[in-house]
Amino acid sequence: MTSISQDGDRDKLRSVSVDLNNDTPLLIDIPDALCERDKVKFTIHTKTTLNSFQKPDFSVSRQHEDFIWLHDTLVETEDYAGLIIPPVPPKPDFESPREKMHKLGEGEATMTKEEYTKMKQELEAEYLAVFKKTVQVHEIFLQRLSSHPAFSKDRNFQIFLEYDQDLSVRRKNAKEMFGGFFKNMVKSADEVLISGVKEVDEFFEQEKTFLLDYFGKIKDATAKAEKMTRSHKNLADDYIHISATLTTIAADDNEAFKSKACISNVCVCVQKLEARVASDQELKLTELFRYYMRDIQAAKDLLYRRARALADYENSNKALDKARLKSKDVGQAEEHQQQCLQKFDKLSESGKKELTSFKARRVVAFRKNLIEMAELEIKHAKSNMSLLHACIEQLQSN
């Protein structure tokens, strides 16, 4: 069981996507999380001044499935069709560090003791990093919901925050999973069909093309960034091996002892730095891209819903005409048409607002993160330089 408490890192990542959790009515954070075997239990702490809640300050314990449930209910709510629903946080994935730990255990015999301990430390750090990341992602999800005027009033959301007992969300059984899968397929087919529908509004037309394009590219960029950080990590790991071997050699060979010991120290530090560079890069860049990829997907969903509404509207128009021709059920058709029109208008309006704010948010987040990443890289490079310089001096003076 590992437990973790949040620190200032929170603030940094918070500014990745959301820079408005200063709504005092509802303040949410995840101060603590426990990892029990496969499950992660988050402790969600809420501070509120709203009357709709029973207490001003309370905490509950939730699991990942509860988040998914919340997200799904929001998606299914008709009223929110015109809003961008924040993307569901990804499932906590400890698979990769676990695999590596396993491999490390297998290869233990071939390494010296120090090497083994160092590698183990690295892996533990990685594990911890994954853990931290997942906590942050969940936290951001909740914060976005709470800062949105519509969502924060949602009944389900309040239940989620407040309900003392375990929500015991029923996992989707096989039928529902399959149903969900089927629905997705239908949706994608729909998307293709609907993209043929003529778009009346210039704004949405632009947005659609932009988002579709951008989504593809950012997905690509995310994948490549992931690969890059992975190779960087591998590089750092290599330095561990090298330094361990060098220490062994230095122990044997007395003459060149000092120089070898020096370089093995250097290798250790270089490795640490490289590892840190890699993880920073990952945090800022890769996470950024990943998050926005999901966000854009959510924005695309919004557009889809709107387009669906438009299609419905047009269909209802056609039905109305047909009904008028046949002079049957005209009233019904008219009503239906009115509804569709209303829905469509509502969607368009809120959609516009949402998309504009989304754009602004995205630009700010990108800029901030890129700057931070550049600064970190500079810092690391400089410290690396000074370290190497010191070592060179030492070697020369020997």
Partner 1 sequence: MSVSSLRNPPPFLDGEDQEPEYDTRDLDSDDGEDIFTGRSNKPFTPTPPETDPPTDIFSEEGYTVQTPIKHPSLHTNILEPKFNGIQSDEELDLFAEATVELTLTTPNSQGRKEVCPTGPHFSILNAHSSLRMPDTSNKTMEELEEEEHGDTFELNIAVTNPEKMGDGMNAFMTYKVSTQTSLPAFRSKTFSVRRRFSDFLGLYEKLLVKQSLMGCIIPPPPQKSVVGMTKVKVGKEDPSSADFVEKRRAALERYLQRVVVHPALLQDPDVQEFLEKEELPRAVNTQALSGSGFLKMINKASDAVNKMTIKMNESDNWFESKLQEVENEEQLLRRLHASFDSLVNHRKELCSSTAMFAKSVAMLGSSEENSALSRALSQLAEVEDKLEQLQQEQAFSDFFIFTELLADYVRLLGAVRGCFEQRVKAWQRWQEAQSTLQKKREAEAKLLWANKPDKLQQAKDDITEWEAKVGQSERDFERISSTLRKEVHRFEKEKCRDFRHHIVKYLESLHRTQHRVSDEAGGRRRGGRHPVDLLIDSLLFSCSW
Site string for partner 1, 137-176 (x = CB under 8 A): ----------------------------------------
Nearer to partner 1 by C-beta: 88 or 391? 391
- 357 touches partner 1 by CB under 8 A: no
Nearer to partner 1 by C-beta: 56 or 216? 216
- Reduced to 3 states (helix: H, G, I; strand: E, B; else coil), residue 164 is coil
- Interface residue with partner 1, options 25, 156, 214, 311 (CB under 8 A): 214
Q: Give per-residue burial for 135-158: e unless 16+ CB within 10 Å, then b.
A: bbbbbbbbbbbbbbeebbebebbb
The candidate with the shortest Cα–Cα distance to 162, out of 148, 181, 146, 182, is: 146
Shortest separation between residue 282's beta carbon and partner 1, angstroms: 12
Please answer whether residues 355 and 205 qualify as being in contact, where contact means their C-beta atoms are separated by less than 8 angstroms: no
- Interface residue with partner 1, options 18, 145, 246, 302 (CB under 8 A): 246
Nearer to partner 1 by C-beta: 270 or 310? 270
The token pair at 357 is 């704010």
Shortest separation between residue 253's beta carbon and partner 1, angstroms: 7
- 363 touches partner 1 by CB under 8 A: yes
Shortest separation between residue 375's beta carbon and partner 1, angstroms: 6
Task: Sort 254 into a burial class: Cβ within 10 Å, 0-12 / 13-18 / 19+.
Answer: exposed
Rounded to whole angstroms, the Cα distance separating 338 from 342 reads 6
Ramachandran quadrant class, 168 (left: phi over 0; alpha: psi -120 to 50; beta: rest): left
Shortest separation between residue 341's beta carbon and partner 1, angstroms: 30
User: Which segment (49-57, 177-185, 190-198, 382-390) binds partner 1 by CB under 8 A?
Assistant: 382-390
- 385 touches partner 1 by CB under 8 A: yes
Rounded to whole angstroms, the Cα distance separating 243 from 237 reads 10
Sign of the Cα pseudo-torsion (203, 366, 25, 168, in order): positive
Site string for partner 1, 251-290 (x = CB under 8 A): -xx-xx--xx--x--x---x--------------------
- Interface residue with partner 1, options 100, 241, 276, 352 (CB under 8 A): 241
- 227 touches partner 1 by CB under 8 A: yes
Nearer to partner 1 by C-beta: 50 or 371? 371
CB atoms within 10 A of CB 351: 24
The DSSP letter of residue 166 is -
